[in-house]
Amino acid sequence: MIEMMNANHAAAHAARLARVDVAAVYPITPQTTISEKLADMVEKGEMDAKFMLMESEHSAMSALIGASYVGARTFTATSSQGLALMHEMLMWAVGARRPIVMPVTARAIGGPWNIWGEHQDVITERDTGWLQIFCENNQEVLDTVLMAYRVAEDPEVMLPIMVIEDGFILSHTVDNVDIPTQEQVDRFLPPFKPEYPVDVDRPMRHGGLMMPDWWTEFRYLIYQSQEVARGKLLEAEKAFEEIFGRSYGGMMEYYKCEDADAILVVAGSAAGTAKEVADRYREEGKKVGVARLRVFRPFPSEEVRRLGEMARTIGVFDRSYTFGDGGAMFNEVRSALQPMDSIIKDYVSGLGGRDVTVKYMEWIFDDLLRIAAEGKVDRTVEWVGLKDGTERW
């Protein structure tokens, strides 16, 4: 059934359809309407879940870890400061192997205060072991939450997953969303059956002190599960397409990348803008492509290397800046392309809610084509849209 809604409500519907058992929430802009929609659905009896109003995001994640241990399917949503506050428990959720699914409305982290869309908060959590999937539009958010439960709860994975919506851009703008039926989702998502539940009939200790003699091996198991998750994500998408008729290109969506002179790697809603510009440029004979990076963790190294085969010049769009030798996404793409003879440049833009306009994208593609022609990069990082008095954009 197609309805007009924003990504937050789409995510809330997905939680309802996934038959989430326990949702523990705490408000933060721009995620709050997810909690409000859940509250509404629970109140009306449309959703049969234990709805917990927690006293902080840290407590929200903690409560879900406890609930998940007992065998409940769990859900929360957060952003920015809240995500940062739960950092410790994000790491605990991975170590405890809890398949929690959490939409994050990606937003800048203060100070000073900024409540608008950017990827800094989720990029900062890339070290935790959570799987991270960036969505381009509202439909994808709903669909990805459903696919995430299937992948997360797979006994070979058992890792939590972050479903990323660009703050305000997706969370608050309205689009057509096809809400699947409960019957369809029940066919797609089996019930959650953990292998080692907290159970008085089978007592054990969960998450107890681990000495140096075995810690490495348990971390290795997490690494293995992240690797296995690659295949599981593709399987889940295939099964999803069979029931719901939609798919998203797997780990990385290649858009007009064949026979390209330059390709821009971009995650999130800005990919939509990039695709629009790429369409027009292709009509004008300029051979550009867009590689939408969908899954950031596990990192799609193979898919990035395939890009390197398609074009020599690769631009990477970073909607955050982590103060390394270039931004985070740039560094990971560059690292994957290392065996190849690629020319790579970092474009940092869209921070703190700054609109990534068609003009910015045109500037980036023009710059990439120039680099492709010259065969070399002028500088590693370009802050696109920076008010530097040059009137370039």
Shortest Cβ 170–another protein spacing (Å)? 28
Contact call for residue 243 and another protein (CB under 8 A): no
Contact string (CB under 8 A) for another protein, positions 96-125, x = contact: xx----------------------------
Closer of 66 and 272 to another protein (Cβ):
66
d(CA 168, CA 295): 21
Structure tokens at 173: 């703008």
Rounded Cα distance between 107 and 8, Å, is 14
Among 4, 46, 56, 191, binds another protein (CB under 8 A): 56
Exactly one of 4, 174, 221, 358 binds another protein (CB under 8 A); which one? Answer: 221
For residue 379, give both structure tokens: 């500088």
Q: According to the binding rule CB under 8 A, does residue 45 interact with another protein? A: no
Residue with tokens 């959590």, as numbered in its chain = 125
Q: Angle formed by the axes of helices 87-95 and 57-70, to 10°?
A: 10
Q: What whole-number distance in Å separates Cα of residue 294 and Cα of residue 269?
A: 11
Q: Which of residues 198, 340, 381, 386 is near another protein by CB under 8 A? A: 198
Give whichever of 130 and 347 is closer to another protein, judged by the CB atom. Answer: 130
208 binds another protein (CB under 8 A): yes
Residues 113-139 as b/e (b if ≥16 CB within 10 A, e otherwise) read ebbbbbbbbbbbbbebbbbbbbbbbbb
Indicate whether 193 belongs to the interface with another protein (CB under 8 A).
Answer: no
Q: Which is nearer to another protein, 34 or 72 (CB)?
A: 72
Whether the ω angle into residue 385 lies within 30 degrees of 0, i.e. cis, is no
What is the enclosing helix (H) or strand (E) of 297?
strand 295-297
Which tokens go with 234? 């593709």
205 binds another protein (CB under 8 A): yes
SS3 call for 22: strand
From the CB of 20, what's the least distance to another protein, in Å? 10
> Binding another protein by CB under 8 A: which of 1, 44, 200, 390?
200
287 binds another protein (CB under 8 A): no
Site for another protein contains 68 (CB under 8 A): yes
Using CB under 8 A as the binding rule, whether residue 209 contacts another protein is answered as yes
